Structure 1
Amino acid sequence: MTFVPPPGYQPVYNPRIPYLGPIRGGLREGMSISILGSIPKDISRFHINLRCSESESGDIALHFNPRFDGWDKVVFNAFKDGSWESEEKIRRMPFTEGHAFETLIGISAEGYEVKVNGKEFHTFKHRLPVQQVRAIQVEGDVSIQSIIVIGPGGFPGSNLPVGVVPFSTIIPGGMHPKKTFIIRGQVPFGADRFAINFVASRSGNMILHLNPRLRKGEVVRNSLIGGDWGKEERQLSTNPFREGCPSAAETRSSRCL
């Protein structure tokens, strides 16, 4: 899925943990929050809070707290008027040590509908008005790749269809500086390679060829101009694509193509 977030919905990439940042415009029914990250092998616990102020004090509308303590569980709660309320303990662990994850928090009339890696996990009913939420906080043993607030009805600014691979479409308005594309999907087990190509429609030149090769553990970048391939780029500190894991590839234009 490809989108360009409008003002107020700009993604946060690779935040330093602990993280506390505002949710511009707040939350309301029909919105959701996508969090991509990874769990270290020596994890103890981490938590995600939806806070009612942009500070580390005040009410918390949602406290989402996976605990790896020998009795693996996920604790949900709310903090109101200076006190924690009654806990909801889910004695299942949707996260795996040493693996990437995607958590989606959807806001419904009933509560916060939490999904992990595409599977429904738990709905925490509202204890505070969702309109009071002003910030998101992440702390503990976790690494976060991105935090994205999604507007009502799906990804904000998106008017492109979700396609079956192989997929191609026209980019409305073309490319321009700082335009960002996020292509989200999951790499199936047993995958060998796939490619994402940005093509100039008039010339047929391939401006960007992004080619993750899973079995070799590398991501090839190149361009095809006038029928000739350029010099490949293969060097990466880490390979961000792994079989069986959700992935989000970001492509940002720094100059006009």
Structure 2
Amino acid sequence: MEYCLCTIQTIPYLGPIHGGLREGMSIYLQGSIPESITRFFINLLCGESESSDIALHFNPRFDGWDKVVFNSCQDGTWQSEEKIRSMPFQKGQINVLFSVSGIILLQISVNGNEFHTFQHRIPFERVRAMQIAGDVSIQTINVIGVSLPEHSGYPGGGFFVLNVLFLFGFKPVPYSNMIPGGMYPKRTIIIRGMVPYGAQRCVFLRSRDIAFHLNPRVREGIVVRNSMIGGTWGQEDRELSMNPFMEGQYFDMSIRSGNQRFKVFVNGQHLFDFFHRLQSFNEIDLLEINGDVQISYIHF
């Protein structure tokens, strides 16, 4: 499940992370930095006030010796800095992803590329808020992987924790892989990735015949669903209330198979149902992904 903390938020910003952090959760920020940037920071706070302990201080500095500083602050005392003398940001659009991984590490990805892994100095379960200030504009802050209801489409409900957590290196596309054991009722495939800037289409296929063709057409703002049986395409489904596949944005998608249909969820929201057109959908044993998309994680 995903929820949005803010949309086009005023800086400086201080807001809660509802329920705190849990293993397997990710925080995704999208924004921009101006030409005149000096520095900005993002803090993960252990309370909802500026005086709270800081579990993570993320501080890009553009001062002629461009670097990114990581630190933490406990009981009012700053701890030792970790300085990365490499600047992942360029003036303009930025995307930052923080992912809680295991019990000691926090991974940071910038614009789709893994940047740094910060060892927890303060238990991440204490994090309750986020603070942002400096030369940056933030359009959205999204928290991915919070508590899920049983009907959400993710296996088991409860907290969304997988054996393999968010990976920041992208898998090569086109991607093709067998589905171990094939599809069966209540089986869920989870795909995480990013739609890059300039994308036109990203295509997700499951085939021998193509039982389910999912084709987000980014520029057209539609998501086409179809099947191809015996070499012939069927009738397209196009109607949707929203299109979550947007340029420059991450997505977290689950495809769950039932006896009569596939149920598709994106970023925790039910997107559509697609009724089976094959007589025996449990023969589906192949996942193919193609087009303008970057894939970071696949779970069968």
Give the counterpart letter for 2:105 in structure 1: G
Determine the C-alpha separation between the residues in 2 that align with 1:10 and 1:209: 16
- Please state whether the residue corresponding to 1:14 is helix, strand or coil: strand
Determine the C-alpha separation between the residues in 2 that align with 1:209 and 1:69: 42
For residue 142 of structure 1, the aligned residue among 133, 136, 143 is 136
Q: Given the superposition, is the C-alpha separation of residues 137 and 206 from structure 1 closer, same or farther in structure 2, using an over 3 Å criterion?
A: same
* Poorly superposed stretches of 4+, deviation over 6 Å: 201-205, 207-210
Give the counterpart letter for 1:194 in structure 2: R
Determine the C-alpha separation between the residues in 2 that align with 1:152 and 1:190: 30
Q: Would the aligned equivalents of 1:32 and 1:104 in 2 still touch at CA under 8 Å?
A: yes
Determine the C-alpha separation between the residues in 2 that align with 1:86 and 1:131: 21
Q: Which residue of 2 aligns with 1:105?
A: 98
Q: Would the aligned equivalents of 1:38 and 1:144 in 2 still touch at CA under 8 Å?
A: yes
**Residue identity (%):** 50
The answer on 1:93 being equivalent to 2:103 is: no
How far 1:198 sits from its partner (Å)? 6.5
Determine the C-alpha separation between the residues in 2 that align with 1:196 and 1:47: 34
1:38-187 equivalent positions in 2, closer than 5 A: 38-97=32-91, 99-108=92-101, 109-151=103-145, 157=152, 185-187=195-197
Q: TM-score, normalised by structure 2?
A: 0.54
Q: Would the aligned equivalents of 2:58 and 2:69 in 1 still touch at CA under 8 Å?
A: yes
Q: Given the superposition, is the C-alpha separation of residues 82 and 17 from structure 1 closer, same or farther in structure 2, using an over 3 Å criterion?
A: same
Q: Would the aligned equivalents of 1:195 and 1:209 in 2 still touch at CA under 8 Å?
A: no
Q: Would the aligned equivalents of 1:103 and 1:115 in 2 still touch at CA under 8 Å?
A: yes
Structure 2: 5+ residue stretches without partners = 155-172, 175-192, 202-217, 227-234, 252-300
How far 1:247 sits from its partner (Å)? 3.8
- Please state whether the residue corresponding to 1:131 is helix, strand or coil: helix
Q: Which residue of 2 aligns with 1:220?
A: none
Higher relative contact order by CA 8 Å / sep ≥ 6: 1 or 2?
Answer: 1
Determine the C-alpha separation between the residues in 2 that align with 1:29 and 1:52: 16
Instruction: Give the structure with the higher percent strand.
Output: 2
Q: Given the superposition, is the C-alpha separation of residues 205 and 50 from structure 1 closer, same or farther in structure 2, using an over 3 Å criterion?
A: closer
1:22-41 equivalent positions in 2, closer than 5 A: 22-41=16-35
Give the counterpart letter for 2:54 in structure 1: I
Determine the C-alpha separation between the residues in 2 that align with 1:83 and 1:209: 46
Give the counterpart letter for 1:107 in structure 2: V
Structure 1: 5+ residue stretches without partners = 166-182, 211-239, 250-257
Cα RMSD (Å): 3.9
- Please state whether the residue corresponding to 2:125 is helix, strand or coil: helix
- Please state whether the residue corresponding to 2:9 is helix, strand or coil: coil
How far 1:207 sits from its partner (Å)? 7.1
Determine the C-alpha separation between the residues in 2 that align with 1:207 and 1:29: 33
How far 1:12 sits from its partner (Å)? 1.8
Deviations 1:49-74 (A, max 9, x none): 00011011121000000000000000
Determine the C-alpha separation between the residues in 2 that align with 1:74 and 1:131: 24
Count residues in correspondence.
192
1:202-217 equivalent positions in 2, closer than 5 A: none
Q: Would the aligned equivalents of 2:5 and 2:17 in 1 still touch at CA under 8 Å?
A: no
Determine the C-alpha separation between the residues in 2 that align with 1:73 and 1:184: 26
Determine the C-alpha separation between the residues in 2 that align with 1:78 and 1:52: 11
Determine the C-alpha separation between the residues in 2 that align with 1:50 and 1:100: 22
